[in-house]
């Protein structure tokens, strides 16, 4: 994985220019910011639970002819990666199509 490199780059970016004095404090601060950054990175990807929560909205938007993939790109991204959710999604679409017919 590219994690080690990623973290090194992140640490270099987050390190304040003058990190010589109060080093312990800076390390602590840096770690805190690093964890926050990781937390934010995680939010970029939906979990199955997240997708499941908005899957019906996504399917309904598609059904209405809206550009669901553009409006909810994280859902589309997850569906591309995750066969389980895609199966769930396709079942949902079939139900909606049945109701529309």
Window of 12-20, 46-54, 57-65, 92-100 that interacts with Zn ion by CB under 5 A: 46-54
Residue of the chain from 82, 92, 93, 96 that contacts Zn ion (CB under 5 A): 82
38 forms part of the interface with Zn ion (CB under 5 A): no
CB 11, CB 30: distance < 8 Å: yes
Between 16 and 73, CB nearer to Zn ion:
73
Long-range Cβ contacts of 58-65 (<8 Å, 24+ apart): 58/89, 59/89, 59/92, 59/93, 59/96, 60/96, 62/93, 63/93, 63/96, 63/97, 63/100
Nearer to Zn ion, 19 or 47 (CB): 47
- Give contact residues for Zn ion (rule: CB under 5 A): 48, 82, 85
């Amino acid at each position: 994985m590219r994690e080690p490199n990623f973290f090194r780059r992140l640490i270099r970016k987050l390190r304040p220019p003058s990190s010589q004095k109060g080093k312990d404090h800076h390390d602590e601060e840096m770690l805190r910011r690093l964890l926050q950054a990781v937390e934010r990175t995680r939010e970029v990807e939906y979990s199955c639970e997240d997708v499941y929560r908005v899957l019906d909205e996504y399917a309904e938007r598609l059904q209405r002819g809206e550009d669901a993939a553009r409006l909810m790109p994280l859902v589309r991204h997850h569906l591309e990666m995750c066969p389980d959710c895609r199966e769930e999604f396709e079942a949902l679409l079939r139900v909606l199509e049945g109701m529309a017919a």
